[in-house]
Structure 1
């Protein structure tokens, strides 16, 4: 894994970042996403200054990430409960089947 320098353009500035070659596409995608979020916030006109725009973008992205993680955790819990219910039903059906075959 060789590391190359990748230049990304975020909110009218260039940033040179060391990045493994196999992660270049992910870095570029992340930079485009961040640039879009920062431009969206800046165009709203309520936040002035690149530092503040960056912090607001970071907070929005973090909020979205945590919200998606929470939903994923809820989905996993729901799926586990569903699987447990199915296993109990299968166990019950097998137990009933064994009881009737021994009669």
Structure 2
């Protein structure tokens, strides 16, 4: 017999049974809790009415945040790569000067 790999989560006062790989239950529950919080935030603003619209607005907000963070991470990665290249050039330059100095001393 196979064991059921479903997790029950509650989002905006509704219960959902979702298939989930073993070992990912905690992550799914965290994601559902985060989504529930975002949807409640949007609903409490009173500007969006209807669960479908609230879900779409929450998805757009979460996606916007994700893309913004990804852009920041990409910029940090690029900056770090440039810094590492600069350090490697300095090391290469220092080693080349050291070899020149050792060669002249002999």
Q: Distance in 2 between matches of 1:45 and 1:9?
A: 21
Question: Which consecutive aligned stretches of 4+ in structure 1 deviate over 3 angstroms post-superposition?
Answer: none
Q: Tell me what 1:14 maps to.
A: 15
Q: Tell me what 1:34 maps to.
A: 35
Q: Distance in 2 between matches of 1:3 and 1:72?
A: 37
Structure 2, unaligned stretches of length 5 or more?
none
| SS at structure 2 position matched to 1:21 | coil
| SS at structure 1 position matched to 2:41 | helix
More strand as a share of residues: 1
| SS at structure 2 position matched to 1:20 | coil
Q: Distance in 1 between matches of 2:97 and 2:19?
A: 63
Quick check: 1:93 aligned with 2:94? Answer: yes
Q: Which whole-Å deviations, capped at 9, do the CAs of 1:39-97 have from their partners, x for residues lacking one?
A: 00000000000000000000000000000000000000000000000000000000111
| SS at structure 2 position matched to 1:57 | helix
Normalising by structure 2, what TM-score?
0.93
Higher-Rg structure is 2
Question: 1:1-103 to 2 correspondence within 5 Å?
Answer: 3-103=4-104
| SS at structure 2 position matched to 1:9 | strand
